[in-house]
Amino acid sequence: MKYFRKFLFVVKVFVFLFFVFILGNVALYLYAYITPKIDINSNNSIVFYDNEGKSFFESSSENKWASISDISKYVIDATVATEDKNFYIHKGFDFLRIAKAFYINFKNGNISQGASTISQQYIKNLYLTFDKTWDRKIEEAFLTLELETHYTKDEILEGYLNSINYGSGQYGIENASKYYFNKSTLDLSLAEASILVGIPKNPSLYNPIYNLEKAKKRQKIVLDSMLEEGYITEEERDIAYNTELVFYGHDDPESVLSINYYKDAVLQELQTISSIPDSLIESGGLHIYTNLDIDAQKKMENIISEEMAGQNDYQVASIAVEPSTGKVIALVGGVDYNTSEFNRVTQAERQVGSTVKPILYYAALENGFTASSTFTSEATTFNMGNGKTYSPKNYGEKYGNRDISLATAIAYSDNIYAVKTHLFLGENVLVETAKRMGIEKKLQANASLALGTEEISMLDYSNAYATLANYGVKNDVYLISKITDNDGNILYEHEYKEETVLNKRDVFILNELLSNTYNYDFVDYSSPTMLTISNLLTKKYAVKSGSTNTDYWAVGYNPDMLVMVWNGYDDNRDTSSGQSKITKRIWARTIESILENSDSSWYDIPSGVTAYLVNPVSGQLSESGKKTLLFYIKGTEPSINSNAFNKLFLN
């Protein structure tokens, strides 16, 4: 009797919870019913504009929107069978599928199974919100209820098929059909439809033009799902799978495919603008005005294509920023958007190598160093305390074995000089200076930080260099200038903020020193690191290269333009020494091409700064022999007995 009462109690609790669940669902759907009908057609029209106000991308366009009656039944059946087999039964949420996914994920100890319905996925496409906070999840759930309440299944499926990403920058089934097969979606065969339906799972991985083997494996999953749900027979499945497909893959010859990387970066920035999701829900539709310069983007893409030809798996990232405003005018996140949509400007973090040294040397100048300050360039083992040592090496283990000036250390990218400077200043100084210049990544203070062992995203890193290029005035880099709704109401406008964070005289001296990385006057026991591309430069630039075992960088600027370039492998395999010239050439050709119609521009000499002819290697005054012009704050100019700090470091 005791156990029976317990059992009866459990049954009562279960029945109570079941009724609460039912009543809760009724209440939610009733709430969804009385709320205003969301306008899915206008919401789906997301338009991107360049810096001249010309549209360069639309998430949907009326002439390429396919009504449900004009979409191949094969596409519809394949999509439902693969993505949401209970689509026509559930009311927005497939609870059995959710329970199954929860069980599998719990059993495997990871999130390997998803349970989003077509309705939920469509809501995400409409509102461009991909963050995983509970607030957003709850909001998405309510929107899904509203969608299911106010629209028929066919209307939802039509909108979904016209908004999803089919790779190669093609959004919507009609655009995809035209691009891949040069035909309307209504005319697609089972073989063609099943290959297209497989793409959205991973648009880069399953792009049939560039990854046919993987696309065919995905096609088989789609066809098997259709067979399992009774949409096709085994014979139809086998014929479709074995059909040899001919891909059209043709688009506007004037189009710039890399614009998709820029567009994706815009969407990523959009997620940081907290006011947009609610504004978008209320207004419907977005018009996003960006800083994209189509001409600069096309030049960057063409140069990368030419310089990267024949480099299998070797990747690239590049960005061009207007220093005076922080506007990102061009951005390329990879060699080919068709084969990889991963954006290496915004999504990847890589070791920055010696390109971190200008940040270090600005701090040095601010703390009393001059262009003539010397350390000894020689193989050095640093005693770090607690029995630990650190033995960095110069590239090619090439050392001067004598005192060298800061000017030469920058030109040669001497690692020993950099570490000595870093330890002399204190390891936290570089961290604090980088943060002041605009780097958001929290850097770890250690000896190797001076050689760029920290991993930073290019977009974040560009803030620091933009500050140097803007004469010490920080204004965070950005892509979106303004966002409006369909009626022209401004939902967001970039607020330009500038803050002077660096000393103008020290920035000028540093920029002058960085212009010597391709100066023949510095050829001695070694050569400046950018000397090999000096013949490509017609203007004066501050420029620094950097390398690790897995990364190559080239970063340079003048008052008008900042260009950053990275090369490496996604799987972090080692690069070869010959590949560094690719990075340098891409940088030189890109910045020269963007500025080809501009007059030469350089920084005005600030008051209190003077120049002297000195021996570039020793940093001492020179009346004869090798000499070059270096700049100093008045009162710090060199004398015969130039300042040296070597006594602080013992081998």
Active site members: 83, 354
The span from the CA of 156 to the CA of 38, in Å, is: 12
- Tokens standing for residue 481: 């200038």
Beta bridge partners of 490: 484
CB 529 within 8 A of CB 411: yes
Beta bridge partners of 482: 289, 493
Question: Which residue reads 């309440």 in tokens?
Answer: 149
Query: 545 — phi, psi (to 5°)?
Result: -100, 165
CA dihedral 392, 398, 403, 408 (to 10 degrees): -100
Chain centroid offset of residue 280 CA? 24
DSSP 121-141: HHHHHHHT-----HHHHHHHH
3-state DSSP helix/strand/coil percent for the chain, to nearest 5?
45, 15, 40
Neighbour count for residue 39 (Cβ, 10 Å): 15
Angle (nearest 5°) at CA 484 between 563 and 134: 85
Which has the closest alpha carbon to 68: 145, 152, 149? Answer: 152
Beta bridge partners of 568: 315, 551
CB 117 within 8 A of CB 141: no
Is 98 buried (19+), middle (13-18) or exposed (0-12) by CB count in 10 A? middle
